Amino acid sequence: MNDFTFSCPTRFVFARGATGRVGAELAAAGHARALVVFGQGSVVRTGTLGRVLASLDAAGVAHAELGGARPNPSVAHVREGIAAARSFQADVILAVGGGSTIDTAKAIALGAPYAGDVWDLFAKKAAPVAEGKPAVACVLTIPAAGSEASDSSVISNDDLLLKRGLSTELNRPELAVMDPELTFTLPAYQTAAGVTDMIAHIMERYFSSVGPVPVTDNIACGLVRALMQEAPRALADPDDYDARANIMWAGMLAHNGLAGLGRNAAPFTRAGGWESHALEHELSAHHAQITHGAGLAVVFPAWMRYVWRSAPERFLSFGRDVFGIEPVDAEADGVDVTAEEAVADAVSATIDELQDFFVSMGMPSTLGELGVTAEDIPSLLGTLEQNKGAEFGDIRRLTMDDARAIYESCL
Ligand code: NZQ
Ligand code: ZN
């Protein structure tokens, strides 16, 4: 178990009807001027935005609004938000939406006190500073990205075809209002993509080069089992409060860092190599219509099939703890397979089960279903190399040739 630091300063208000408490919470924290950021209209249609604004009014928190955060949010929109935050003199950026809206709010908050262009921070040309930075708060409407408590903001630059994450403790929201009833209106595809993203966040940390860390590994596998149990319930009955609530909380636990503690290869770094996220972010950077979780449903199993031989024991333990899959024992079971074949069969069955689960929720299993073809791969590799360098990854270092092979394996 390796050395780590862990801080999760976010205050969670998790309840039916919690939306109506956001104004009082912000006022109690000393905030007086909120820039309310939202997406492309779902919160207007559902009435959530109206309830948030009424709650701010009731608590005496002044507000200005900025709609239009798109899925795979753009830096152009962030720049608009920075101008709005400055002119309104916002002391808190309140996101009402999902990962795309929250990441926009985080980037606005980091960019507001920075004199240069906010993309400098994502390009790592400048470091974000706390001084003069508005706080970030959110009312979460889709459990998926885990941005409600994560240290990351992920923003796309359409001019450069780059999608970049910026991780800093300054990104952790001060307040996350989590009202599971808000997620009843989610389309099945978004519910499924969200659950896929959560499982991916857990697996990126689980499949790291560090050996077993039982306390963390049990949290990880327990979360995956709970998600696999609750997701079909929410898909069958979108108004199932308990299923929605469990999924919502799991999304936070999957990505606030808890599910990887001690699994970090170098002291005080993030656990895992995040290879599948790197491969996916190129897909949704080049094709903004691709839903992040759907892209992960395609590339994660492909990555697993490509690399598992570098850490077979991790894949066996995942199969055992999540699916109850054990390699056959040739002697005891009276079958004619070598030990190596038994391990390969067990790992293969594990990856098949996982992929079947994603597909059972309505997720794609091929790049073709996402509208990505073989002709797209060279340009994906070009920006992947800009983002990750010539080699990346943890349990197995991947070159651009490896990345090409993984993309090609899921055409
Ligand atoms: O834009 P609106 O109209 O609000 O519609 C959204 C959007 O179309 C809709 N939606 C959200 N809540 C709804 C709803 N529709 C009906 N009822 C509701 N209650 O759902 C769609 C997806 O929303 P989005 O915010 O894009 O989803 P998600 O939370 O999956 O965020 C995805 C973004 O987060 C990034 C992804 O790369 C992607 O850009 N990530 C952020 C991370 C982080 N900050 O820590 C980590 C992740 O790995 C991820 O990379
Ligand atoms: Zn993700």
- Residue pLDDT, tens place only, 300-312: 999 999 999 999 9
228 and 368 co-located in one domain: yes
Q: How many domains does the chain have?
A: 2
Q: State in Å: Cα 43 to ligand 1 middle.
A: 12
Nearest CA to ligand 1 atom 9: 42
Quick check: is 6 in a domain? no
Residue 2 in any domain: the answer is no
User: Is 5 inside any structural domain?
Assistant: no
Instruction: Answer yes or no: pTM beyond 0.95.
Output: yes
- Ligand 1 — pocket residues by CB below 6 A? 39-43, 46, 71-72, 97-101, 103, 141-142, 144-147, 150, 152-154, 182-183, 185-186, 190, 194, 197, 255, 277, 292
Lowest average pLDDT, out of 34-43, 256-265, 329-338, 378-387, goes to 329-338
Indicate the pLDDT class of residue 268, thresholds 50, 70 and 90. confident
CA of 306 to the centre of ligand 2 (A): 20
**Are the CB atoms for 278 and 305 separated by under 8 Å?**
no
Q: Tell me which of 151, 183, 215 is where a domain ends.
A: 183
Q: Which residue's CA is the closest to the ligand 1 atom numbered 15?
A: 186
Nearest CA to ligand 1 atom 42: 145
The pLDDT value recorded for residue 333 is 87
**Of 183, 218, 244, which closes a domain?**
183
| Nearest ligand, CA 297 | 2
Mean pLDDT for the stretch of residues 43-50 = 98
My answer on whether 128 and 73 are in the same domain is yes
Q: How many helices (H) and strands (E) does the chain have?
A: 16, 10
165 and 102, same domain (yes or no): yes
Q: Could you tell me if 179 and 247 lie in one domain?
A: no
Domain containing 219 — which CATH number?
Answer: 1.20.1090.10
- d(C-alpha 329, C-alpha 238), whole Å: 43
pLDDT band at 266 (very low <50, low <70, confident <90, very high): confident
Whether the Cβ atoms of residue 380 and residue 286 lie closer than 8 Å to each other: yes
**350/395 same-domain check:** yes
pLDDT value of residue 347: 98
Contact predicate 314/395, CB 8 Å: yes
Shared domain for 177 and 268, answered yes or no, is no
Cα 350 from Cα 333, distance rounded (Å): 19
Q: Using a pLDDT cut of 70, give the percent of the chain over it.
A: 100
pLDDT at 134 over 90: yes
Q: Which atom of ligand 1 is nearest to the CA of 255?
A: 45
Q: Are 383 and 158 in contact (CB under 8 A)?
A: no
Residue 65 inside a domain? The answer is yes
**Both 228 and 147 in a single domain?**
no
Instruction: Give domain status of residue 66, yes or no.
Output: yes
Query: Mean pLDDT across the chain, nearest whole number?
Result: 97
Helices (H), 207-240: 214-236
Q: Is the pLDDT of residue 57 over 90?
A: yes
State in Å: Cα 147 to ligand 1 middle.
9
In a domain, 189, yes or no: no
In a domain, residue 354? The reply is: yes
The answer to whether residues 191 and 231 touch, using CB atoms and an 8 Å cutoff, is: yes
Distance CA 17, CA 182 (A): 9
At 267, the pLDDT band (50, 70, 90 cuts) reads confident
Give the model's confidence band at 10: pLDDT under 50 very low, under 70 low, under 90 confident, else very high.
Answer: very high
User: In this structure, what DSSP letter does residue 69 have?
Assistant: P
Question: Which position has the token pair 């898909």?
Answer: 235
In a domain, 162, yes or no: yes
Is the model's pLDDT at 224 over the cut of 90?
yes
Contacts of 364 by beta carbon, 8 Å cutoff, 6+ apart? 294, 297, 298, 370
- Closest ligand to the CA of 99: 1
With cut-offs at 50, 70 and 90, classify the pLDDT of residue 331. Answer: confident
In terms of residues, how long is the chain? 411
Q: Same domain for 171 and 213?
A: no
Which residue's entry shows tokens 């056959």? Answer: 328
Among the candidates 183, 212, 236, a domain finishes at 183
Instruction: Give the model's pLDDT for residue 127.
Output: 97
> 77: domain CATH number?
3.40.50.1970
Asked whether residue 261 falls in the same domain as residue 167, the answer is: no
Task: Please report the pLDDT score of residue 361 as a whole number.
Answer: 98
Q: Do 223 and 306 share a structural domain?
A: yes
Expressed in angstroms and rounded, the spacing between residue 57 Cα and the centre of ligand 2 is: 34
pLDDT greater than 90 at residue 215: yes
Residue 150 and residue 213 share a domain? no
Q: For position 16, what pLDDT does the model report? A: 97
Rg for the chain (alpha carbons), in Å?
A: 21
Q: Do 153 and 214 sit in the same domain of this protein?
A: no
* Owning domain of residue 23: 11-183
Q: How far, in Å, from the CA of 293 to the mean position of ligand 2?
A: 7
Choose which residue among 66, 167, 190 to substitute to test ligand 1 binding: the one with the highest number of ligand atoms within 8 A of its C-beta.
190
